[in-house]
Amino acid sequence: MSPWEVVTIGREYGSGGAAVGSAVAKALGFRLLDRTLIERIAAAANVDPAVAQRLDEHVDGWVARIHRALRFGAFDSVAVDAGEAIVDAARMQALTAAVIQEAAAEGRYVIVGRAAQCVLRGRPAVFNVFVYASRADRARRLRARLGPEVDVETLIDDMDRERAAYVKLHHGCDWVDRRLYHLMVNAALGESAAVKVVLAALEAGVPSVS
C-alpha cells in the first residue's frame, strides 16, 4: 500500500497529463478526481454541470470566451446564461478548493489539475507531479484528438496562459515552479513510461510528517 494519501497531477495542455493521472490512479487503486470534480462542484453549487465545465480552471469564464470569440469571429457563442451570472470563476475556484480539501481528507485520491498542488501545499502525504512535453509533441497529440481544422498552436498558448493565470490569481503560485513538485515528468517518454516513473517515485519517496 502506498504511504501517500494523495497524488496531484499538474500538466501542460496537450501533454497527456490527464491520461497519466488516470493510469496512476488505476495502478494505485485510488479514486480519480478530474472531470468528476466538475460534477461534484456543480452539485455543491446547484448549477448545470455545463456551466461549471465552462468556468473550470479559468480566471473568468465569460471574459475569456469573449476574448476567444473576438479572435475567431464567433461572438454569438459568448452569451452569459443565468447560471454563470451567479456562479462566476471566483466562486467556482472556491468550490473547487473545498472539494479538493474534502478529497484530501478522505485520502486515496489522484487529483488532476485545478491547482491542487497549491491548495494542498504543506499538507503531509501529498505527492505533487507535473507532466510536460515538447510543443511539437503536444501539438501532435492535440491534432490527433481535435482534428486538423483546429488551430492547436493558438489553443496551446491560450490554455497554458489561462492555467498559469488561474494558479497565480487564486493561489499566488507560479504554475511551473519546480519547487511546487516532487517530480516533473517529460511525457515524451510515452504514457506507460511516465506512469512507471511516477509509481517508482511514489514507492521510493517518504511522506513528510506534519
Domains and CATH numbers, the chain: 6-204 (3.40.50.300)
Q: Is 106 strand, coil or helix? A: helix
Neighbours of 139 (CB within 10 A): 16
C-alpha cell belonging to residue 197: 516513473
Residue among 14, 25, 8, 24 at smallest CA distance from 187? 14
pLDDT tens-digit profile of 3-48?
A: 899 999 999 999 999 999 999 999 999 999 887 666 666 666 566 6
Per-residue pLDDT at 64 exceeds 50: no
pLDDT, tens only, 103-121 = 899 899 999 988 899 999 9
pLDDT of res. 89: 61
Residues linked to residue 128 through DSSP beta bridges, in sequence order: 8
Distance CA 81, CA 88 (A): 11
101's grid cell: 480539501
- Spatial CB neighbours of 126, under 8 Å, sequence gap ≥ 6: 4, 5, 6, 7, 8, 104, 120, 207
> Residue 50's pLDDT is what?
64
- Residue 3 CB neighbours (<10 A): 11
pTM assigned to the model: 0.76
